[in-house]
Structure 1
Amino acid sequence: MDTQWAQKYLDILERDEIAQKMQAFYDLLVFYNEKFNLTRIIGREECRIKHFLDSICAETYFPAGANVAEIGSGAGFPSLPLKIVRDDLSFALVESVEKKCVFLREAVKELGLKNIQVIHMRAEDGGKNRAYREKFDVCCARAVARLNTLSEYCVPFVKIGGRFIAYKGSAEEELREAENAFRVLGVKTVACERYDLPEEMGKRTLIVAEKIFSTPAAYPRGNGKERGKPL
């Protein structure tokens, strides 16, 4: 990304209505974090850059009106900041930990966000469920697993022609590791954006892959094989 990208998204976060909702989200995050241990990042400025800005920096890769699945939603990153700045997007938040689902439902309600469903479900189960398999324009995830494992969780949710979007740190090694998984699961990389967060808060990589053929029925394998024996 060029050097202007950070200022562009920092400016978006400062818009009145967006800033108010981000502040309300931050307050909810701090309150629930004491009970649910949602994130280690609770400082206001650190949260603004490492969570809010980083979440929205991929928004141009989400097509207008896209139906999005987020895997391992946790505290709602990147989905909730994305929804705040891109109300045209619809989300299915897939989270296996019930207490995190409680937080997500409360945040969606308190922030007045529409067209979001929170689903208490393991990704490997959802990827085999006909109600969710290959039904989404985009599947995204942030800080869930290494890319070869993550792709097996996410790609089965994506329809042909849709996108798998992964938010990562420094990911050169993970990209090499995931080459076989991408081939097997039916996606090809169409963008790889490397950028530094402001105030030296970390190096990030945004990976965008397009679904070019249907994922074979054998995937996701389940029973922990995605992590134990990654493709």
Structure 2
Amino acid sequence: MNIDQFRASLQEKGITLTDRQLDQFEKYYETLVEWNEKMNLTAITDKEDVYLKHFYDSITASFYFDFSKPFHLCDVGAGAGFPSIPLKIVFPEIEVTIVDSLNKRISFLTHLANVLELENVHFVHDRAETFGVNPEYRENFDVVTARAVARMSVLSEFCLPLVKVGGDFIAMKAASAKEELAVGQKAITTLGGKLDKMFTFTLPFEESERSILIIKKEKQTPKKYPRKPGTPGKAPIE
């Protein structure tokens, strides 16, 4: 996906990018590739692949959920900033908090936010399990996103404790979403969530399958979740 295709594909979805936004994506790509030589941020570095598999793929969440109104989004395990930074570029009114367990990635994201001149973005070096019990963050976000971080039974324990009651958890998944959802249903319910909607589609050009699960937070997460670091992965709620 070249830049013209990127712009045109978003236009088809009702998203018109300004010259400044296109420039921000270009700077994002350049910064990502430059830092990737020093640390492992992504295996995808070909420009057209980055625009399709990172930038466009991140923005697909907005095709199925309204990002046009201001709200506070938390992105769990965002790595090099996906999906939250592309979404922030397209929808500058949203406030973004990224939590990631690797300090090197937080350093990259802090530098990136300066390069892109982003406002109302916050970066926290922490594990999701300890972040989720911190009263400053617990059940404090309107929307929580995660893209390709862990299977649903584990991911729900990382993310749902952060969502305020009435808010939404958006899980961005590849082809295994239905199977993950079936296994993760108990975890979602236990943690106070309920599947609201699920959308499955294919990425343009390469036709790989993607799914977006929107989980509504219906009631408070029990105090014992998330459990201590490492436990959700070793003993998921299933």
TM-score where L is the length of structure 1? 0.94
Distance of aligned partners of 1:40 and 1:11 in 2 relative to their CA distance in 1, 3 Å threshold: farther
Tell me which amino acid in the other structure corresponds to 1:206: I
Q: What is the aligned residue count? A: 227
1:116 is aligned to 121
Unaligned runs of 5+ in 1: none
The answer for the alignment partner of 1:25 in structure 2 is 28
Q: Deviations over 1:4-36 (max 9, x none)?
A: x95546884754222111000000000001111
Does the alignment pair 1:210 with 2:216? yes
Displacement of 1:78 after TM fit? 0.4
Cα gap change, 1:141/1:169 in structure 2, threshold over 3 Å: closer, same or farther? Answer: same
Report the AA paired with residue 182 of structure 1.
Answer: I
Quick one: distance in 1 between partners of 2:231 and 2:68?
Answer: 32
Question: Which amino acid counterpart does residue 208 of structure 1 have in structure 2?
Answer: I
SS of residue paired to 1:198: coil
Please list the CA deviations of residues 30-80 of structure 1 after superposition, one character each: whole Å capped at 9, or x if unmatched.
Answer: 000111110011111111111111111112344611101110011000011
The alpha-carbon distance between structure 1 residues 131 and 81, as it changes in their structure 2 partners (threshold 3 A), is: same
Equivalent in the alignment of 2:157? 152
User: Aligned-pair RMSD on alpha carbons?
Assistant: 1.7
Pair 6,186 (structure 1): closer, same or farther in 2 beyond 3 Å: farther
Q: Distance between the aligned counterparts of 2:105 and 2:67, measured in 1?
A: 24
Cα pair 1:134 1:156 within 8 Å, conserved: yes
Instruction: Find the aligned partners of 2:195 and 2:153 in 1 and give their Cα distance.
Output: 13
* Runs of 5+ unmatched residues, structure 2: 1-7
**Equivalent residue in structure 1 for 2:188, among 167, 173, 182:** 182
TM-score (norm 2): 0.91
Structure 1 match to 2:103: 98
| 1:182/1:63 CA distance change after superposition, 3 Å | farther
Q: Of 213, 217, 226, which residue of structure 2 is paired with 1:220?
A: 226
Asked if the contact 1:67/1:138 (under 8 Å) is kept, the reply is yes
Q: In the alignment, which residue of structure 2 is the partner of 1:44? A: 47
CA–CA distance in structure 2, aligned partners of residues 95 and 192 of structure 1: 26
